[in-house]
């Protein structure tokens, strides 16, 4: 067997840190699929970004069988309702296209697909309109998820009157800023002692009823 160092640069890939707003370049999308530990197959579209301080990938998953249904509940006497998997997918794609290729958003607005059957076809459509803008510069806002890793913030709210979902917190685009609630959690994360992993009570997977952008 032959030995050479061509396939190794000697260091791990640097990741962008949580609680930062970064100047980044869009680095394209990938189609991902696999099997979860539960045995269920999954599919996802991965959006990739890179900046001077590292890289970041955001994955949005294909909705499951009940992917158009919202989770609801009551915490501390307050009713809550979360956007469905389908709404999360739709708003994520719309947000990315609005920032990177608004004409592409207009083109895809007339496309109707049946999910999960047509999820890979959705990826192909999306790749076609996003490939031309690979390398485009923008800003990316990252918070810390409940494991301390960089994550996009919770960005979809539900109007309490109309029950329609909408984007309430931009994480991609120009002139981004942390909300007052995010700034509080950012300060809490910075106050954590070095030997303790940074923990935040907010992420796209975690409900926070005190979030100023959470509309009930």
Residue 39 has pLDDT above 80, yes or no: yes
pLDDT of 43-77, one tens digit each?
999 999 999 999 999 999 999 989 999 999 999 99
Model pLDDT for residues 154-185, shown as the tens digit of each residue = 999 999 999 999 999 999 999 999 999 999 99
Spatial contact of 26 and 55, defined as CB atoms under 8 Å apart = no
Dist. CA 103–CA 110, nearest whole Å? 12
Q: Using alpha carbons, select from 10, 2, 15, 5 the residue that is nearest to residue 144.
A: 15
pTM of the entire predicted model: 0.83
CB 214 within 8 A of CB 80: yes
Q: Where are the beta strands (DSSP E) in the chain?
A: 20-35, 41-51, 54-61, 72-75, 78-81, 137-144, 150-151, 156-158, 165-167, 172-173
């Amino acid at each position: 067997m032959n030995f050479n160092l061509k396939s190794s640069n000697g260091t791990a890939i640097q990741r962008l840190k949580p609680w930062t707003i970064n100047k980044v370049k869009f680095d394209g999308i990938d189609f991902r699929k696999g099997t979860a530990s539960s045995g269920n197959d999954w599919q996802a579209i991965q959006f990739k970004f890179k900046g001077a301080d590292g890289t970041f990938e955001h994955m949005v998953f294909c909705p499951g069988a009940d992917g158009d249904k919202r989770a609801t509940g009551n915490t501390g006497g307050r009713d809550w309702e979360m956007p469905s998997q389908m709404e999360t997918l739709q708003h994520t794609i719309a947000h990315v296209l609005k920032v990177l290729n608004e004409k592409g958003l207009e083109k895809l607005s007339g496309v109707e697909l049946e999910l999960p059957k047509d999820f890979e076809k959705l990826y192909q459509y999306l790749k076609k309109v996003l490939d031309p803008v690979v390398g485009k510069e923008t800003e990316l806002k990252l918070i810390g998820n409940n494991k301390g890793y960089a994550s996009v913030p919770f960005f979809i709210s539900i109007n309490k009157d109309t029950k329609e979902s909408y984007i309430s917190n931009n994480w991609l685009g120009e002139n981004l800023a942390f909300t007052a609630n995010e700034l509080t959690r950012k300060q809490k994360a910075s106050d954590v002692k070095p030997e303790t992993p940074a923990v935040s009570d907010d992420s796209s997977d975690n409900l926070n009823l005190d979030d100023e952008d959470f509309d009930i």
